[in-house]
């Protein structure tokens, strides 16, 4: 997470207003909620600060169990014995819960499709977007500290 925060600050210092980042901090928090909840709480506090700096556009790449099992090729992290799909499903549920907790609008993309179609769907959404302030308030209290 520290490296991601440094990257975010680097973008701002270079005047970069738009950047594409795979899971931003949401994915890290979703993972930490499963493996180390105390770290997840710390990450959530950091996320609140980032929302004061950024107005991210979120895409959720959704896949079915069948697609997941076709594409999965790595063991669950840390060698913990558990079904890979259940682990993925728990991460997915945590991500969706975080979107809800922080009142985050996101675009759900059917990622069961081939890569070209997924990219086409994303590009269509991007071409319709304007860089504007968030139109819904986040469930985030201003950071003071």
Of 100, 97, 81, whose CA–CA distance to 89 is shortest?
A: 97
Report field, pTM of the whole predicted structure over 0.85? no
Q: Is 139 domain-assigned?
A: no
Q: Is residue 110 part of a domain?
A: yes
In a domain, 64, yes or no: yes
Instruction: Give residue 141's pLDDT.
Output: 41
pLDDT value of residue 34? 94
d(C-alpha 51, C-alpha 24), whole Å:
11
Please state the domain count of the chain: 1
What pLDDT, on a 0 to 100 scale, did the predictor assign at position 63? 93
31 occurs within a structural domain: yes
d(CA 26, CA 99): 8
Would residue 66 count as lying in a domain?
A: yes
Say how far apart CA 100 and CA 108 lie, in whole Å. 14
Spatial neighbors of 85 by CB under 8 A, at least 6 apart, are 65, 68, 69, 72
Q: Is residue 138 part of a domain?
A: no
Burial-class residue 17 by CB neighbours within 10 Å (0-12, 13-18, 19+): exposed
| Residue 135 within any structural domain of the chain | no
pLDDT (tens place) for every residue of the chain, 145 residues total: 777 778 777 877 887 665 555 566 888 899 999 999 999 999 998 888 888 887 788 899 999 989 988 887 766 566 555 678 888 899 999 999 999 999 888 999 999 999 999 999 998 998 887 644 444 444 444 333 3
44 domain residue, yes or no: yes
Domain span at residue 13? Answer: 2-128
Per-residue model confidence (pLDDT) at position 33: 96
- Collapsing DSSP to helix, strand or coil, 72 comes out as coil
How confident is the model at residue 19, as a pLDDT? 54
CB 33 within 8 Å of CB 94: yes
CA dist., res. 56 & res. 132, Å (int): 10
Q: What is the 3-state secondary structure (H, E, C) of 114-135?
A: CHHHHHHHHHHHHHHCCCCCCC
Hey, is 40 helix, strand or coil? Answer: helix
């Amino acid at each position: 997470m520290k490296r991601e925060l440094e990257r975010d600050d680097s973008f701002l210092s270079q005047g970069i207003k738009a950047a594409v980042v795979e899971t931003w901090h949401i994915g890290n928090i979703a993972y930490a909620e499963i493996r180390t909840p105390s770290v997840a709480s710390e990450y959530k506090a950091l996320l609140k600060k980032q929302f004061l700096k950024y107005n991210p556009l979120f895409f959720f790449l959704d896949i079915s169990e069948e697609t997941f099992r076709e594409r999965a090729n790595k063991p669950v992290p840390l060698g913990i014995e558990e079904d890979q799909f259940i682990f993925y499903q728990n991460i997915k549920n945590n991500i969706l819960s975080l979107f809800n907790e922080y009142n985050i609008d996101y675009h759900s993309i059917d990622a069961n499709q081939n890569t070209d179609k997924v990219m086409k769907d994303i590009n269509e959404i991007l071409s319709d977007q304007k860089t504007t302030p968030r139109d819904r308030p986040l469930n985030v209290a201003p950071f003071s500290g």
